[in-house]
């Protein structure tokens, strides 16, 4: 007779004895907090303050029906066609997945696992070392400059691949397209992945280079500039040979990654250019105003091409300011590691009203004697 589950549990000192060696060695990614509090000004996870395209919402509502008993299109051809049309590429150059994080995960396994080390910045998207641990990818971090910029010359060394966000995260700093092309010219024999989650808020996409450089893969998400973080859709654009590698991994893992709602909503969002452009303009305008107001309060703000800013104050630590803002129901993000970014706060650009609340709270905090 089997012992009741609670008794069996007590007999084991730790269920981790069942874990694989890979799991024991993992340090998982820590996502931004999603607090369940009322009347909160939430500026910590870079979500778009404006809702999705009305056309995307209408397209998703139209999917509610008997067809949900059927599997979705495993190739998401409608969505790939919409993405290809928007970027001026062929559908065979497009790969789609559950958010850009899944696309990145497949990329690490399919294209970045080689004998030579993968290169990425020391201050960057913290999911990169997590994927390296999960898939056993040998990697080496490359320090940003003192001004928190990527220096292309530092990546002109033997490597098994290169990946970086552009604009970088969490700094928001942009690497010009001309520098990316210089990087590609030198690294003809390894894949270069440009993670463009925030490119629509102030940069020029490297998609313009994919036809000239077959080793280039560009990754996008619909979570930021198209306000669909809750839908989980991302995509990659590159040479069909790179896309084929990603598809082989996908079809060995999950042959139906996107559901009917995601395909319909994402395709409609890609097609609604006017709404997309309007909301991006609003975010950029608010960002510019917010930077000016923070600088007037004595903050040092890194130049940002993203929908967030990275700011520090000479007289106050980032952790201290983050905690005091939280006391006032305003949530921003603070990173303790590495140490040289600990003084900073990463602040999502919200609506004008949300940013006004943030500035008012900071004025109050800064005026309070320590």
Q: What is the CATH number of the domain that holds 300?
A: 3.90.1150.10
- Do 253 and 119 belong together in one domain? yes
Adjacent-strand bridge partners of 300: 312
The answer on 135 and 249 residing in a single domain is yes
Range of the domain at 63: 54-272
The reply to whether 5 falls in a domain is no
Tens place of pLDDT for every residue, the chain, 370 residues? 445 555 554 555 578 888 888 887 777 777 777 776 667 999 999 999 999 999 999 999 999 999 999 999 999 999 999 999 999 999 999 999 999 999 999 999 999 999 999 999 999 999 999 999 999 999 999 999 999 999 999 999 999 999 999 999 999 999 999 999 999 999 999 999 999 999 999 999 999 999 999 999 999 999 999 999 999 999 999 999 999 999 999 999 999 999 999 999 999 999 999 999 999 999 999 999 999 999 999 999 999 999 999 999 999 999 999 999 999 999 999 999 899 999 999 999 999 999 999 999 999 999 987 6
* Predicted local confidence at residue 19, as pLDDT: 82
Is there a single domain that holds both residue 152 and residue 259?
A: yes
Query: Are residue 299 and residue 349 in the same domain, yes or no?
Result: yes
The CATH number assigned to the domain holding 105 equals: 3.40.640.10
| Inside any domain, residue 77 | yes
Enter the pTM of the model.
0.92
213 and 343 fall within a common domain: no
Distance (Å, rounded) from C-alpha 283 to C-alpha 276? 11
What tokens does 366 get?
């800064």
Pick the closest to residue 279 from 200, 341, 220 (CA basis).
200
In a domain, 305, yes or no: yes
Handedness of CA 210, 216, 217, 220 (dihedral sign): negative
Together in a domain, 81 and 215: yes
In the listed set 207, 242, 272, which residue is the last one of a domain according to the structure? Answer: 272
**In this structure, is residue 125 part of a structural domain?**
yes
Same domain? For 109 and 245 the reply is yes
- Both 45 and 59 in one domain: the answer is no
Say yes or no: 317 and 256 in one domain.
no
Q: Which of 219, 245, 272 is the last residue of a domain?
A: 272
CB atoms within 10 A of CB 317: 15
Q: Which of 234, 249, 272 is the last residue of a domain?
A: 272
Give 4's DSSP letter: P
Co-location of 174 and 299 in the same domain: no
Strand 216-221 vs strand 308-313: parallel, antiparallel, or unpaired?
unpaired
Q: What are phi and psi of 92, to 5 degrees?
A: -65, -10
Task: Specify the pLDDT at position 36.
Answer: 67
Residue 15 covered by a domain: no
**Is 112 contained in some domain?**
yes
Look at residue 202 and tell me if it is in a domain. yes
Number of domains in the chain: 2
Secondary structure tally for the chain: helices H, strands E: 12, 12
Measured in residues, the chain has a length of: 370
- One domain for residues 285 and 194: no
Based on the fold, state whether residues 226 and 350 are members of the same structural domain. no
């Amino acid at each position: 007779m089997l012992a009741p589950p609670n008794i069996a549990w007590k007999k084991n000192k730790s269920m981790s004895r069942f874990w694989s060696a890979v799991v024991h060695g993992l340090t998982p990614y820590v996502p931004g907090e999603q607090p369940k509090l009322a009347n909160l000004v939430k500026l910590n996870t870079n979500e778009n303050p404006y809702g999705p395209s009305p056309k995307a919402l209408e397209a998703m509502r139209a999917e509610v029906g008997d067809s949900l008993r059927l599997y979705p299109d495993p190739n998401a051809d409608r969505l790939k066609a919409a993405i290809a049309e928007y970027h001026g590429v062929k559908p065979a150059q497009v790969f789609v997945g559950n958010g850009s994080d899944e696309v990145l995960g497949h990329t690490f396994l399919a294209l970045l696992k080689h004998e030579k080390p993968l290169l990425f910045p020391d201050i960057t998207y913290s999911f990169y070392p997590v994927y390296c641990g999960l898939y056993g990818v040998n990697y080496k971090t490359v320090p940003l400059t003192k001004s928190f910029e990527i220096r292309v010359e530092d990546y002109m060394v033997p490597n098994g691949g290169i990946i970086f966000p552009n604009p970088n995260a969490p700094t928001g700093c942009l690497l010009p397209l001309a520098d990316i092309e210089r990087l590609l010219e030198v690294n003809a024999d390894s894949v270069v992945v440009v993670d463009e989650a925030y490119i629509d808020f102030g940069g020029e996409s490297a998609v313009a280079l994919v036809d000239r450089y077959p080793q280039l893969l560009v990754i996008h998400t619909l979570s930021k500039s198209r306000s669909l973080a809750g839908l989980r859709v991302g995509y990659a654009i590159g040479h069909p040979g790179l896309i084929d590698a990603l598809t082989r991994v996908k079809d060995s893992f999950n042959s139906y990654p996107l559901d009917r709602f995601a395909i319909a909503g994402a395709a409609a969002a890609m097609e609604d250019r006017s709404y997309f452009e309007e909301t991006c303009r609003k975010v950029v305008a608010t960002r510019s105003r917010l930077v000016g107001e923070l600088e007037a309060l004595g903050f040092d703000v890194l130049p940002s091409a993203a929908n967030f800013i990275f700011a520090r104050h000479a007289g106050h630590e980032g952790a201290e300011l983050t905690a005091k803002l939280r006391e006032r129901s305003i949530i921003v993000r603070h990173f303790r590691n590495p140490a040289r970014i600990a003084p900073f706060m990463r602040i999502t650009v919200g609506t004008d009203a949300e940013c006004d609340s943030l500035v008012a709270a900071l004025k109050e905090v800064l005026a309070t004697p320590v």
